[in-house]
A and B are shown apart, each in its own frame.
Chain A
């Protein structure tokens, strides 16, 4: 048996072990020695052995064989052994171990020991690992100690009471009066303990909270004493009397003042005093100020005080110590929603913090900046944010990009600025933006028809410089395809035009097609764009034809399908090509593929249905099965049309209901169908929009319904669409509406005719969905018509 070595030497031996293996060897030897020593009943060095065991335990090695030794040592009369025994109990035992039951008795005895240090050991251990039964057993004892003992014991008893209350909630009642009486003590340790106990009691139950509201004046008194008292050698840290106690009291005041007017009023003066008098040159002072600010912002304080609090936070932001800047940011973030104006005043400093070195400060600054963007400061803020985006750490890029998009969408001062901003973001952080950015941007571009020329030029130039950012390339391809003629025309008011020939444009698109950096979706965009150019350019149609036929045998199935279909368009349906590939109509936000119930942007289907419109001016609105029915009228489709989710190359969901371009002129064929005015029934009236319905029987089972809409508000309505659904056996055909905008005050109306065929004579019901845009926001509503006047 190797001789046991003192703790220090063992520590030295372990530290000098060069490898893990060596260390384990040393420890195993020591543990064996300790175990042997434990087995001996009498040994003078028991405490040393247990101490060594605790050290070993701290390093992570198993030490459960020491538990019984702990129990034995706790029962020993010698203080040094008791001390180590209790320490061992705190570290090795918890309430799940059986051995912990054995020390209950020892603790009970020691609580009434004559030596206060022994009492404190027992209190300490009970507070650390006391189980619920032990707590219940010993609670009266603790209460007695809280009332009548010296201050050293009182403060420990207070914290022991905290543990008891946590374990056994009901005992909170027992300690409340004692806690109250402790507040008059002078000793700061006891005060501190009392405040912690009261905080715990208040957090546990609301009735205790109500009762303790009465002590707010006492707390205010104590705080005043601390703040004004000046230098106190006993409880002083860098010139501030007992900052820890101050912080604790402030926190309790916060809990008591929350949602309560009277309590908050009582604290107002004190908080103002603390805020102004505390010296903020040292960190301690700032700690107290921080707690004060948190309290002020949480209770029902008066506005002057709140402004003072926000100003303190603003001062923190200018502090050299980054810790203080960080917590200022965190607090400002919590209040930016409620005290928006106050925080706006410090916007400059916050924006400066975007350039801070520390990553957490940067993240906070970004979130705060995004929250502070408003219509008035959008331009300056965006400049800063874009600058930040180019230099920010990668983990923040996605968040920053989406934040910028949101802000731009809400507060864009002009369309051109909006488009510029989005383009800037795509060039700097294109890889991190979300997928829906592409369709959003495309929709935005189509909406600003006056900027088409400018946009396409800009995008073309961007495409030439860099084809690695997929989102940017997709948008650029789409634009070139769509507005290629504007690009080739070579003149533009907004930006200097580059002299782009047809070959250049086709070269650019081909580069995208062939580059290995392009994703399959991007290549799909490029191919469709190439195809669209075939109607926009005059000379190089053959080149396009050859490109398209090459890709007819491409390995990528998606590209191959498109290429084959386009080939067919060249060969068999050349007469339709111009109509099929003409300009896209303006897309509305609402019709992103949801209304038609199809997945976003099923290009070829849309093209086919557009050709259907040539054949018959019929517009359908409900899902795919109706489309297929109509397609049969074409004599079958040339390729099996699986619903391929073509990635929005023509941008989501051609809103078939509102195309006035393709179907419009053909409706003249329908010419003579005027609705005979029968008693019009108002079926829908809300927000100034009125919808009336006329019915006219055409035949035994046929019925023509005319829906008329008018707008009586003061603002124009655009993008007005109607959709209708009827019971299954009834056939419904919706004709093209007369328009889609309702000017204000009923200046014009929109009419739409619906032809119904009810062969089975079921009871006719119709559900109509109304969607429109007014003042930039979209509205949608549904109304059910259960009875038709003509029937």
Chain B
């Protein structure tokens, strides 16, 4: 299962974080900093999967943004790799028309991943409730 999802910029500042397993607040900052340090220090030729403590990190870089997903050992890393890309594509599709809004990103993430497992990967289905929400907000 997925343990947490992080979006960080190149300086290591967290832009988005979502935990699917309870981690204490006090330890979150240290954990995030450590994970980010691990991923940011890797060179281009190195692969996108890192073994970190007792779980695995899958990370992908998009311009200035790094998306890091931590998964347990049993997960298929390539599948999670694709999931990250799927997520970015969904964000792209949605936010191409609308200005970037953090709680909307949370909604999208909730539609895709719930409780550490994948719920939905179809773009239009993911965005359906959001477009409905937008319509409700406008009217």
Contact = CB atoms under 8 A, between A and B. Distances in A.
B103 A243 contact: no
Contact of B14 (A51, A59, A188, A291): A59
Given A156-B119, A162-B115, A358 B45 contact: yes
Interface of B: 13-14, 16-17, 20, 22, 25, 28-29, 43, 45-51, 76-79, 81-83, 86, 99, 101-103, 106-107, 110, 114-115, 117-122, 125, 128-129, 132-133, 136-137
7 shortest A-B CB distances, which residue pairs? A287-B78, A357-B45, A322-B47, A323-B47, A326-B47, A189-B120, A159-B114
Given A152-B128, A323-B78, A359-B46, 20 more contacts: A58-B17, A60-B25, A79-B133, A80-B136, A87-B103, A87-B107, A156-B119, A189-B119, A189-B125, A196-B118, A234-B122, A247-B76, A251-B76, A284-B78, A286-B78, A287-B82, A323-B81, A324-B78, A358-B45, A358-B46
Nearest to B19: A91
A358 B47 CA distance: 7
Nearest to B17: A58
Interface string A232-257: 00110100001110011001000000
Contacts of B77: 323, 327
A117 B110 CA distance: 12
Interface residues of A, number: 61
Nearest to B117: A196
Interface string A78-94: 01100110010000001
Interface string A369-380: 000000000000
A155 B115 contact: no
Given A58-B16, A124-B114, A358-B47, A11 B102 contact: yes
Contacts of B110: 124
A162 B81 contact: no
Interface in A322-369: 322-327, 357-361
B82 A192 contact: no
Interface in A49-96: 51, 54-55, 58-60, 62, 79-80, 83-84, 87, 94
Nearest to A199: B117
Contact of B133 (A83, A128, A160): A83
A142 to B, nearest CB: 13
B134 to A, nearest CB: 11
A55 B102 CA distance: 8
Interface string A260-294: 00000000000000000000000110110011001
A117 B129 CA distance: 7
A237 B82 contact: yes
A8 interface: yes
Contact of A327 (B49, B115, B137): B49
B58 to A, nearest CB: 9
Contacts of B121: 235, 237, 242, 244
A87 B28 CA distance: 18
Nearest to B58: A323
Give the secondary structure class of A's interface: helix
17 contacts: A51-B102, A84-B103, A87-B103, A159-B115, A235-B121, A244-B121, A283-B78, A283-B82, A284-B78, A286-B78, A287-B76, A323-B81, A324-B78, A327-B77, A359-B46, A360-B50, A361-B47
A235 B133 contact: no
Contacts of A247: 76, 79
Contacts of A327: 49, 77-78
Interface of A: 7-8, 11, 15, 51, 54-55, 58-60, 62, 79-80, 83-84, 87, 94, 117, 120, 124, 127-128, 152, 155-156, 159-160, 162-163, 188-189, 192-193, 196, 234-235, 237, 242-244, 247-248, 251, 283-284, 286-287, 290-291, 294, 322-327, 357-361
A85 B57 CA distance: 31
Nearest to B126: A189
A323 B49 contact: yes
Contacts of B14: 58-59
Nearest to B100: A8
B81 A117 contact: no
Nearest to B28: A60
Contacts of B132: 117
A127 B115 contact: yes
Contact of A287 (B43, B81, B99, B136): B81
A527 to B, nearest CB: 47
B30 to A, nearest CB: 10
A362 to B, nearest CB: 11
Contacts of A124: 110, 114
A428 B94 CA distance: 58
Nearest to A294: B76
Contacts of A237: 82, 86, 121
Given A58-B17, A156-B114, A235-B122, A323 B103 contact: no
B25, B43, B81, B103: residue with the most chain A Cβ atoms closer than 10 Å? B103
Given A55-B102, A127-B114, A287-B79, A79 B46 contact: no
